[in-house]
Structure 1
Amino acid sequence: MLSEQSTPVVRATLPVVGAALGEITELFYAKLFADRPELLRDLFNRGNQANGEQRKALAGSIAAFAGMLLEHPGTRPDALLGRIAHKHASLGVTSEQYELVHTHLFAAVEEVLGDALTPEVAAAWDEVYWLMADALIAQEARLRRESGAAEGGAWQRMEIVERYEETSDTVSLTLRRTDGAPAAPFRAGQYVSVQVELPDGARQIRQYSLACAPGSPHWRVTVKRVRGGAGPEGEVSSWLHGHARAGDVLAVSAPFGDLWLDDGDGPLLLASAGIGSTPMLAMLHDLAGRGSTRPVTVVHADRSPADHAHREEQRRLVGRLPRAALHLWYEEPGTGAPEAYAGRADLSRLELPEGLTAYLCGPLPFMRAVRGDLLRRGVPAPLVHYEVFGPDLWLQGA
């Protein structure tokens, strides 16, 4: 909770600080990487730094956290910060690194705000930072304890036992532990971090959902190749597509992620687009493996049937659930999917049961559109869960 003396200061200066956060975060990262270039090489996603998404995500999270402190002073920050904490734990972020971030972030704040950063304003925003940092440090420590991971990351060696080309741009890799032990349990919807060494010596890390049943002795991840265009080409996805083969060994984290299937018996909506189908696939495996009789509405949108990874597997799993229905949308349906709708996903075509819990994964415009449809139809916002691949820009306009 923000102190009585800091609350009016933060409230008065939030518009000014919020407007400057883009410039502040850009300068912050420049200062951080000038001081510690190995962080850009081996921890931060270089692609997200190049396209500016990481800066936007950081600015959005700071503004949202400050707003929460002002408008909901008695609210625990776990829900707001949970997704960040899971990502940090999977990357191996340490508690000591928050001191380093503080040093360079407030140097950037001072440079951007200039004379507007009085001692009183600096003290108030310092309090905001440490409330946020301490909450994240505590959550990340708990997540590491639960997963058995050490601070700084506990990378396990996992061998690729099978490589399968799902589509021209997506490949599935089945992984097993090199020590012969079964893969660790996880909750349907979670992801792992995969670290690869690139030709320039950088050890870049990316997250991939576990697209298999919880309790499987092996794990499976599906990697979509990120091609250049509006943004940079995906370094890790391109390397995995070009080089990862059966017999190769990868460094993989413990499972993390706060999107997972609940344990209830109420109706579900699993809505995905593109490679966002992977966490939903794990949920379908989990439901089918338990013989679930829950009503399940499965929605998937893709460019075309040929681009739809795990298409037949998804169809088979839905068929194993007695009260499940699959609804497909393809922008280019062609003649290979007569049962599919043409165009973008439109939930107004569907009759949805009362009391459903929704899980969303896919590009941000897709998830925002589906979430908006659900809210207009009376689904409470806390029952709409989502997963974002990459920096969480949801707060920028959800």
Structure 2
Amino acid sequence: MAQRNRGYIDVDSLQQELIAGGEIVERIASFYNVSLPALHQTQNETRMACIFACGKEQETGDRALSIKAKQDGAVFRCFQYGCTVRGNLLNLMYLMKHNSEPADGKLKGREFKEIASDLQALVAGRTPEPKAETPSTRQSPATESMDDESPLLNIPLKDSENERARELVNLDEQFITDVADMSPQAAAYVRKRPFMTSEFMEKFRCGYLPSNAKGLLRGHFVYGYPDADGKVLTWFGRNLNYEDQHKKWQLSGDSSKEPQKFKFVKGFHRGQELFGEPQFRELATPEQLQQIGIILVEGPNDVINLHTLGIPALAVCSNTVTETQTDKLASMANSIPGGHVSVMLDLDREGENGSKQTILELAKRCCVRLAWTTNLLDGQFRNRQPESVTAEDWDTMLLPALMHIS
């Protein structure tokens, strides 16, 4: 019987072992230290926004990339128009590592050996070899990297070189904050959120931008995104028809045109910022932060609701954190005696997956803990979001739980 080469790696067996262990996307991303966008998972498929630099001209929907695990391997494909990535598990690993496809789209020679070696290390639980530098950088809705020579920067609208952008500084002057004057969809959106009073809409510079207004965000519920000094960096809108559109999309089976919940202006790097910084700094006290930590949530409504309860919080506008956001949070936490970050992402599947990634990243830089879990108090908060937390929830259940952890 012919003997195998000393350096032979049984790639087929390793792939089957990796797939049998489950969570292949998360494990590959963790192995290469790649931050993932929201994951939408079924028994045999994982969906997410495409994070690869592969020819697409704009951000994809959050289910554009499909990864399917099969008994004999895994295959992935992006359904976004203009996106070209597809392949097997080894191709996926190569893309995660280099953010570019191999020459001719196939792994050969040295590239194949490199990824085969990584697969062996991944299955064995070892860390990867340092990867070679590549000219490309990863940019996606949930994860944006920075090039040392050309960092991604968000400039306040008032300082923009674009005259039209400067004209948007006071866009909130056109907002409607009285429910009686809103469209039926906008009024329903606000009424479902009792914390969204006119007072707090003005404080957070958000409100309904009527359909007869100018701009791409007309007809949306619009939020201002300020920097730490309160200067507006951009405006972003909540699609008020998202729920109905998403149901129709799911029934249609059209993977390439998934409706988006939020619309961000092109060119804004949300992964570089934390939403709610000015209000956080206004409300938070050192004693409070020592007690409950820096509460980290997903979206703007979570921040606003907690603020109405007297709880300072910051949002990543995603369910995962970027390196820049993590560095900012760690710097804030480490500047407080006994400081830490309390992760309070949504208690659904996507939020729990994001919490794992977020805690792992923060733990490298500062003290971190979970503010709540699906099992807390016999699952009373399962599938809840911070925007649904009431004063009674906080005072009688969540605060005592946080105090107990302390």
Query: After TM superposition, is the score higher than 0.5?
Result: no
Q: Which has the higher contact order (CA 8 A, sep 6+)?
A: 1
More strand by share: 1
Q: TM-score if structure 1 supplies the norm length?
A: 0.30
Structure that is richer in helix per residue: 1
